[in-house]
Amino acid sequence: MKETDVRDLRARTKSFALRVIRVYSSLPRTTEAQVLGKQVLRSGTSVGAHYREATRARSPAEFISKIEGALQELEETVYWLELLVEANVVSESRLCELLREAEELIAIFVTSAKTAKRPR
């Protein structure tokens, strides 16, 4: 991965986390909104941490493990965001851009993991 790609993904994953924080902060104070919101907050903010750990990996196996950890957190974030919409806590239109970004990050990380798994 090129240095500019690493910087771009660092910025994108941090921006993603900040957007998740803003969504959480704006949720209603109902029990269901707060329970779902805390799940989104936890998983959505950990994507960037996993990615940063991957960039410091000491081996290809460690890189793959950290990238796959980021993928798991992204998939979980999408799940919680979908529940917020389907439970009528948040409108779909309010989360569509965040969901789109999550799907784009998933595609990038899947490609990174596949590339790293290729025999050299």
Using an 8 Å Cβ cutoff, are 44 and 73 in contact?
Answer: yes
Task: Give this prediction's pTM.
Answer: 0.92
Q: Which pLDDT does position 69 carry in this prediction?
A: 97
Structural domains of the chain ordered from first start: 3-117 (1.20.1440.60)
Q: Is the pLDDT of residue 85 over 90?
A: yes
The model's confidence at residue 4, banded by pLDDT at 50, 70 and 90, is low
**How many other C-beta atoms can be found within 10 angstroms of the C-beta atom of residue 25?**
9
The 10s digit of each residue's pLDDT in 26-53 is: 999 999 999 999 999 999 999 999 999 9
The 10s digit of each residue's pLDDT in 90-117 is: 999 999 999 999 999 999 999 999 999 9
Alpha-helical segments (H) within 1-120: 3-26, 31-55, 60-86, 92-117
Q: Which pLDDT does position 7 carry in this prediction?
A: 75
Q: Which pLDDT does position 22 carry in this prediction?
A: 98
DSSP tag of 29: S
Burial of 67 (0-12, 13-18, 19+ CB in 10 A): buried
User: With the CA atoms of 74, 80, 81 and 86 taken in that order, what torsion angle do they form, in degrees rounded to the nearest 10?
Assistant: 150
Which helix (H) or strand (E) segment holds residue 38: the answer is helix 31-55
Q: Which pLDDT does position 93 carry in this prediction?
A: 97
Q: Which pLDDT does position 120 carry in this prediction?
A: 75
